[in-house]
């Protein structure tokens, strides 16, 4: 590896802005890394080297002219999950149904990245339409975990997380509907953040489940995630669910936390998210992390959120119900794949043939479940009841945050499993999201930070914050990260095994 790809985003930005390193050099180093290792990892679906280098050159010209950078991350490369629209570049959502689709507009998150001077390297692989927990459901093949290429990198945003762990990008954007940023973060030894729902625009984010979907930052350090968070967050009139409130001071909180003092902070351990179903190594890592928080001065208490036991089942009724509505737009009439358009088939037949050919099995499964849950005679028993559970989850969070400033749990009950191990068992796959789903149900913020290794595979510590108080999680995560690195002799991410490179 070159020194440039090992730098944090904050370190790289400082070197670019001082003129010590050019953005073109940094961008080319990451493009070279992608060319070398991505044939093995398959983190990217699309790389736009020409456009990336043009963007980098523009930043270098501003630096050479003595003008202040437009943002703290100007000139730093970033990878974008292929569920966000990028004008002039393919957006497939990991599906054959959108193969070759070139959006005529940018998602708000994409636009904010460009306005901040970041350099978009390309689009990352994902479970089709963000439906999955392993990135095995991509129509373009699975992404592999850089820690062990026989294992999954988590999902649905495994491409973004794997790109970070493989040092193909210093920053990435993911989306989190039921844990799709945090769970891949835990499984790849990286940092993943689900911001408070509504604080990052969903305009241009191809919808899976609109009341859950939330874009957020992926990075290798807490500070890098905070810097990216502040770039993409903010009110957007193009998104009806966007919250018109100031962006939480996450960068200041991360810097404060890194000083290592959590005196006066009360941390609540969620009883229902620790125990049965968790691998022993995951529990051991979590218990060690809690002890570390206590050593940093935090007061640790146990809290109970009884409805969390019902959250997984409720989520897998509500989210597919929303998906059955959202994915109805893929009708072969306006854009994307079209099968049977030979004059011999009716519009209805073309629509049916296209969906049969274009949607993968997991997407079909969730559409069927969602349509059933919304059907006459079953709506109240299934969808209606699940929404009541959602209310109970929110109430449990409110009660728990009355006892603690932040809540903690393992991010995932298991470490990265082998590719193919759970693909034929949907229920086992869904249970991987056990710890992450509650915060999507309630809409509050959550962050996953690496907490060590179990049998050589990364484990994540999850920190929940109240809605609009995202900075609380950043402070605790940064304090823990600094203490962990000091105790373990350096950053966890630099222990990822070196990958075989192509020639």
Geometric angle at alpha carbon 405, from 404 and 406, rounded to 5°:
95
By residue count, the chain amounts to: 503
d(CA 83, CA 45): 11
| Cβ-proximal residues to 481 (8 Å cutoff; 6+ apart), any chain | 191, 221, 222, 258, 449, 450
265 three-class SS? coil
Q: Which of 15, 81, 422, 475 is catalytic?
A: 81
Do 475 and 288 contact (CB within 8 A), yes or no? no
Within 10 angstroms of residue 218's Cβ, the number of other Cβ atoms is 32
| Cβ-proximal residues to 291 (8 Å cutoff; 6+ apart), any chain | none
Structure tokens at 280: 């022993």
d(CA 204, CA 87): 10
Active site residue 57: no
> Are β-strands 215-219 and 299-303 bridged in parallel, bridged antiparallel, or unpaired?
unpaired
> Are β-strands 266-270 and 77-81 bridged in parallel, bridged antiparallel, or unpaired?
unpaired
Structure tokens at 139: 């129509």
Give the closest residue to 354 by CA, choosing from 382, 327, 378, 381: 327
In a 13 Å sphere around the CA of 73, the CA atoms on its Cβ side amount to 29
Backbone angles phi, psi at 123, to 5 degrees: -115, 140
Dihedral over Cα of 106, 110, 113, 119: its sign: negative
Active site residue 502: no
Active site residue 156: yes
Do 320 and 366 contact (CB within 8 A), yes or no? yes
d(CA 185, CA 403): 28
Q: Which of 180, 412, 439, 451 is catalytic?
A: 180
d(CA 498, CA 503): 15
d(CA 383, CA 373): 6
d(CA 262, CA 254): 12
| Cβ-proximal residues to 329 (8 Å cutoff; 6+ apart), any chain | none
| Cβ-proximal residues to 380 (8 Å cutoff; 6+ apart), any chain | none
Strand partners, 462: 409, 448
77 three-class SS? strand
Q: Which of 89, 133, 156, 412 is catalytic?
A: 156
What stretch of H or E contains 283? helix 280-295
Residues marked active site are found at: 81, 156, 180
């Amino acid at each position: 590896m070159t020194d440039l790809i090992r730098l944090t985003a904050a370190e790289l930005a400082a070197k670019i802005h001082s003129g010590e390193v050019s953005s073109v050099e940094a961008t080319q180093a990451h493009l070279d890394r992608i060319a070398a290792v991505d044939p093995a990892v398959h983190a990217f679906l699309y790389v736009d080297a020409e456009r990336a280098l043009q963007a980098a050159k523009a930043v270098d010209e501003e630096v050479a002219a003595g003008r202040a950078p437009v943002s703290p991350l100007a000139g730093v490369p970033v990878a974008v999950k292929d569920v966000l629209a990028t004008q002039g570049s393919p957006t497939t959502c990991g599906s054959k149904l959108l193969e070759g689709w070139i959006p005529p507009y940018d998602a708000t998150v994409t636009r904010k990245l460009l306005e901040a001077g970041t350099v978009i390297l390309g689009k990352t692989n994902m479970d089709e339409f963000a439906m999955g927990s392993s990135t095995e459901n991509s129509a373009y093949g699975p992404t592999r975990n850089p820690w062990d290429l026989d294992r999954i990198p988590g999902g649905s945003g495994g491409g973004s997380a794997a790109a970070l762990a493989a040092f193909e990008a210093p920053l990435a954007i993911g989306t989190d509907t039921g844990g799709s940023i945090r769970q891949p973060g835990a499984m790849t030894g990286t940092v993943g953040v689900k911001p408070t729902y509504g604080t990052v625009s969903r305009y241009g984010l191809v919808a899976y489940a609109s009341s859950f979907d939330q874009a957020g930052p992926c990075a290798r350090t807490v500070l890098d995630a905070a810097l990216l968070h502040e770039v993409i967050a903010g009110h957007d009139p193009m998104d009806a669910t966007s919250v018109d409130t100031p962006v939480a001071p996450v960068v200041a909180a991360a810097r404060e936390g890194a000083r290592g003092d959590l005196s006066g902070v009360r941390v609540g351990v969620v009883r229902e998210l620790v125990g049965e179903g968790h691998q022993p190594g995951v529990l051991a890592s979590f218990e060690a992390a809690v002890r570390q928080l206590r050593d940093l001065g935090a007061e640790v208490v146990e809290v109970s959120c009884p409805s969390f036991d019902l959250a997984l089942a409720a989520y897998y009724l509500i989210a597919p119900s929303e998906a059955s509505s959202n994915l109805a737009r893929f009708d072969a009439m306006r854009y994307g794949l079209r099968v049977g358009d030979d004059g011999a088939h009716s519009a209805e037949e073309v629509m049916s043939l296209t969906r049969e050919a274009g949607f993968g099995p997991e997407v079909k499964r969730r559409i069927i479940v969602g349509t059933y849950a919304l059907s006459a005679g079953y709506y109240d028993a299934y969808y209606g009841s699940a929404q009541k559970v959602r209310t109970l989850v929110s109430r449990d969070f409110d009660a728990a945050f009355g006892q603690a400033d932040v809540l903690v749990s393992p991010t995932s009950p298991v470490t990265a499993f082998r590719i193919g191990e759970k693909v034929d068992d949907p229920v086992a796959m869904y249970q991987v999201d056990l710890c992450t789903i509650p915060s999507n149900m309630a809409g509050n913020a959550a962050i996953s930070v690496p907490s060590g290794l179990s049998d050589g595979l990364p484990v994540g510590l999850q920190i929940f914050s109240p809605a609009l108080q995202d900075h609380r999680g950043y402070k605790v995560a940064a304090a823990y990260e600094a203490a962990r690195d000091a105790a373990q002799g350096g950053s966890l991410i630099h222990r990822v095994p070196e990958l075989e490179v192509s020639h």
